[in-house]
């Protein structure tokens, strides 16, 4: 049950009607509702709700072409259950693992990828995986649409680059080289139904000589928005697998983690979060190395 005092409710039955409603004036977009219902404040002047849950075309996961490359397009209303179960390829497994770790089964059945991203929580489970997979955000408005990298879409806690009249309709993940693997690791006070203390997504591309040709590493719950670790990505490029624990310990130093801005809160201290991130990154890289070399 929502605590938000509503002045109006509209259920869009097509993308065109949803965009027309957004063009007519500000609306609060309702997708799965798992964030909105839990966090809506009591407000007599609340914006009308625009329910887009009936737009099944936004639930699809399709193969597409993006800038001349094969890619996957994930509709904004794709649920965590669909991402968990619908056979994402190994290179996109980070997103499937993140989907498995979101809430409980009921949340996974209702919650959507688009809602998770648009909510713009620093601890949004889907964001590190999408960052590590170089995701593009697709936005539509009446008569126009655009794409921009996820890193430019997220501006801060609860803030995005979505403009008035726009609706996030999907995410495009460009396919990396053939030998690419990814994974996701999350630390919380318990396994499920918990806000993350820290989480990482790790993706690596590997050549025939078992050397890392590219790495993409993203960390969440350790700053206002999830962050890529460009220094560490650069250090990993060209290294041969497997990487010894001592090598990983030297690579994952304070300079490598400099983009992170963890805070002290009830879930953990800043220094603990940094240590946890270093451990999770080392585990993720070791796990992927084992899979590549198997």
Over residues 149-201, the pLDDT tens digits come to 999 999 999 999 999 999 999 999 999 988 999 999 999 866 666 788 999 99
Task: Tally Cβ neighbours within 10 Å of residue 142.
Answer: 15
Q: What are phi and psi of 24, to 5 degrees?
A: -75, -20
Which helix (H) or strand (E) segment is 106 a member of?
helix 105-110
pLDDT value of position 11: 95
Q: pLDDT for 93-130, tens place per residue?
A: 999 999 998 988 999 999 999 999 999 999 999 999 99
Task: Say what the pLDDT of residue 4 is.
Answer: 47
Domain ranges of the chain: 9-51, 56-174, 180-293
Give the CA distances from residue 283 to residues 7, 49, 202, 226, 271, in Å, rounded to whole numbers and listed in that order. Answer: 49, 43, 10, 19, 19
95: its two tokens: 């997103």
Q: Does domain 56-174 have CATH number 1.10.10.10?
A: no
Q: What is the C-alpha to C-alpha distance for residues 180 and 205, in angstroms, rounded to an integer?
A: 4
Q: Beta strand 227-228 with 49-51: parallel, antiparallel or unpaired?
A: unpaired
| 8-state DSSP, 12 | -
pLDDT tens for 2-51 read 444 556 889 999 999 999 999 999 999 999 998 887 665 545 567 899 99
To 5 degrees, how large is the angle CA 221–CA 222–CA 228? 100
Give the CATH fold of the 180-293 domain: Enolase-like; domain 1 (3.30.390)
């Amino acid at each position: 049950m929502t605590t938000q005092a509503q002045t109006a409710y509209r259920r869009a039955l097509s993308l065109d009607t949803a965009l027309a409603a957004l063009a007519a004036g500000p609306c609060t977009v309702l997708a799965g509702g798992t964030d909105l219902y839990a966090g809506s404040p009591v407000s007599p002047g609340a914006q009308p709700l625009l329910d887009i849950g009936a737009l099944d075309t936004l639930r699809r996961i399709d193969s597409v072409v993006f800038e001349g490359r094969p890619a996957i397009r994930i509709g904004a209303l794709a649920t965590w259950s669909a991402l968990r179960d619908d056979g994402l390829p190994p290179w996109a497994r980070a997103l499937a693992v993140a989907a498995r770790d979101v809430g409980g089964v009921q949340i996974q059945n209702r919650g959507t990828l688009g809602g998770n991203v648009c909510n713009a929580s620093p601890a949004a489970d889907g964001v590190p995986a999408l960052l590590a997979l170089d995701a593009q955000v697709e936005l539509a408005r009446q008569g126009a649409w655009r794409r921009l990298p996820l890193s430019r879409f997220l501006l801060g806690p609860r803030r995005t680059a979505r403009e008035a009249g726009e609706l996030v309709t999907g995410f495009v993940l460009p396919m990396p080289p053939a030998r690419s693997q990814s994974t996701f690791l999350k630390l919380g006070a318990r396994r499920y139904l918990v806000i993350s203390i820290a989480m990482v997504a790790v993706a690596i591309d590997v050549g025939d000589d078992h050397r890392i040709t590219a790495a993409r590493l993203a960390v969440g719950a350790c700053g206002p928005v999830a962050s890529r670790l460009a220094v560490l990505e650069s250090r990993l490029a060209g290294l041969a697998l497997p990487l010894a624990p001592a090598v990983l310990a030297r690579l994952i130093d304070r300079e490598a983690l400099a983009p992170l801005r963890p805070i002290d809160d009830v879930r953990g201290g800043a220094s603990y979060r940094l240590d946890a991130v270093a451990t999770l990154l080392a585990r993720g890289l070791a796990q992927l190395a084992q899979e590549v070399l198997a």
